Amino acid sequence: MRLWCRWLARAIPTGAACAFAAAALIGPAKAAVDEERYAACIAKMESDPRDAFDTAVFWRFMGGGIPAAHCAGLALIRMGQHKYGAERLETVVRKMRNSDDFNEPAKIAEVLAQAGHGWMLTRDPARARHLYTKALEYFVDRSLAAIDLRDFRAAAGDLDAAVKFDPESTDAYAFRARVRRKLGDVEGAIADAERAVSLDANHVPALLERGSLRRLMNDSEGARADWQRVVEVAPDSSEAVSAKAMLKALESQ
């Protein structure tokens, strides 16, 4: 893990690289992978990215599969062949999605972010933004699944990564506010809810959550204002149903 993060910090100095290093390797959860060979390939890029690329190509020819292809793509970016490296990493993502062994959201998000950085270095910010957005969606979507399962700590981890990756993700702040409240971190939840509303004053989940937090802090008027805004902005939404129920409970007290 530390090796992976140190290398990414040098090769991909975006400030978000290690947020996506949820695992030291992109190896699958089910199949056996030559982790030492993969780590050695990554380590070679510190001093000789060309040798790392040649090693990865040979390993892939010998059956190294997705890990070898991933190392080759990263080596190309390290060598300055940004466009070709980014294209290879996008190919790696497609193969991961079609693989029973490698189809893990966090790892796919990591490679998407690496490909996006390659396109940034190629001066193609539009393509980079597209890939960064896809990477972010993986973390946010997985956090919602964790919330449904009431695994709030797992959700918090994914949302922490999403916020580090995109400090202006309204969804990530809004959902993390809810998760932090569930974990008992009211102060952190309030900060996240306020940040989400500052980014989008009509963000329905953020308004709903801020209303709940205000009510928790005995700010009934603030809670009422937020929940009424939810009903105004999205009257047919599930959030509006919840807001109406909480407004009714508030009035009966």
**HSE-CB for 152 with a 13 A CA cutoff:** 12
pLDDT at position 47:
86
pLDDT at position 107:
84
**HSE-CB for 47 with a 13 A CA cutoff:** 3
CA neighbor of 92 nearest in space, from 64, 119, 124, 67: 67
Domains, in order of start, for the chain: 1-153 (1.25.40), 168-253 (1.25.40.10)
pLDDT at position 27:
53
Prediction pTM value: 0.66
Question: How much of the chain exceeds pLDDT 90, in percent?
Answer: 63
Task: State pLDDT tens for residues 136-158.
Answer: 888 898 899 999 999 999 999 99
pLDDT at position 8:
40
Q: Return the number of other C-beta atoms located less than 10 Å from residue 56's C-beta.
A: 28
Dist. CA 199–CA 201, nearest whole Å: 7
Low-confidence ranges of the chain (pLDDT < 50): 1-24, 28-32
Farthest-apart Cα atoms in the chain, separation: 72
pLDDT at position 133:
86
pLDDT at position 177:
98
Scan for tokens 């100095």, then name that residue.
Answer: 13
Question: Please, which residues have CB within 8 angstroms of residue 34's CB and are 6 or more apart in sequence?
Answer: 64, 67
CA neighbor of 86 nearest in space, from 127, 28, 134: 127
